[in-house]
Amino acid sequence: MMQESAEHWEYDGSFLGFMTIVDRSFREKKFPALILSPETAVESLFLSEWVTTDPRRGEKIYHRLRQRLRPENFLFIQNGFYATLEGKERYLLDAIEIALQTKDLLENHLGHPSILALRKSIRTMLGENHALTGFVRFEYVGDVLFSKINPKHYVMPYLCPHFAERYPQEKIMIYDETHELLGIIDHGDIHLMENTSCPEFAEASDEQEIRQQWKTFLRAVTIDERANYKAQRNHLPLRFRGNMTEFKA
């Protein structure tokens, strides 16, 4: 039986780091009151114990969870880790404990506040990812398709596989400004580089010329009297337009 502890733990924010937290928590049979990451530790006034990521133990608990949990519940926990939710690590420990005790879907345990909070956050994250699959715009930089995005959630692990499957013969780079994360897709192979700055490219003149011609065409065919800007915002929220080529000057 897991016991509640007044301890505060801090880790590096990585998935293997969280798996190390899970391993320690279940070995010691206790849940810390608070789990801090680099993002949340800055705002915290509490002293915490640093838990060093152990790749070996992290990988071991990862594979053990995959074996013991039903696939839907393991996916729920994995999705919950990438969702943007304050205190998600503590909620995820609750979710793992419940999943280890039942063969039922975690989605059926919405009476538990941790499961409900995770489910809401996961749905929001997956909704943003779905929207971005339609709103991401690429430009050729040499032989590479490049795009820059500003998502609220950590969607790159979901977005990159979509475009890897959609463009299996292309070299693609997607930069997430919010999380300083660069996704590199090379003929279907995906690599994520964290804590990196946006690549700088000199814009090809022909690309700029094509974009300008497209804008001129759109202005020519637009009937101002029929413009419905409220409907446009409903279908294409303003926050998605910043890096869309058709809205660039």
Cα dihedral: 80, 83, 89, 95 (round 10): -20
Q: Which of 168, 201, 160 is nearest to 184 (CA)?
A: 160
Residue 248 pLDDT greater than 60, yes or no: no
Measure the CA–CA gap between 141 and 138, rounded to whole angstroms: 9
Task: Give the tens place of pLDDT for each residue, 14-67.
Answer: 999 999 999 999 999 999 999 998 878 766 667 889 999 999 999 999 999 999
First to last CA, the chain: 61
Instruction: Point out the least confidently predicted range of 60-74, 86-100, 119-133, 233-247.
Output: 233-247
Task: Give the tens place of pLDDT for each residue, 160-200.
Answer: 999 999 999 999 999 999 999 999 999 889 999 988 888 88
| Angle between helical axes of 88-101 and 71-82 (0-180°, round to 10) | 170
Give every CB contact of residue 242 below 8 A, 6+ residues apart in sequence.
Answer: 150
Task: Give the tens place of pLDDT for each residue, 78-92.
Answer: 999 999 899 999 999
Average pLDDT over the chain reads 85
How do the domains of the chain map onto residue ranges? 3-126, 136-247
Instruction: Please report the pLDDT score of residue 116 as a whole number.
Output: 97
The pLDDT-based confidence of 77 (bands split at 50, 70, 90) is very high
Q: Which of 81, 249, 64 is nearest to 157 (CA)?
A: 81
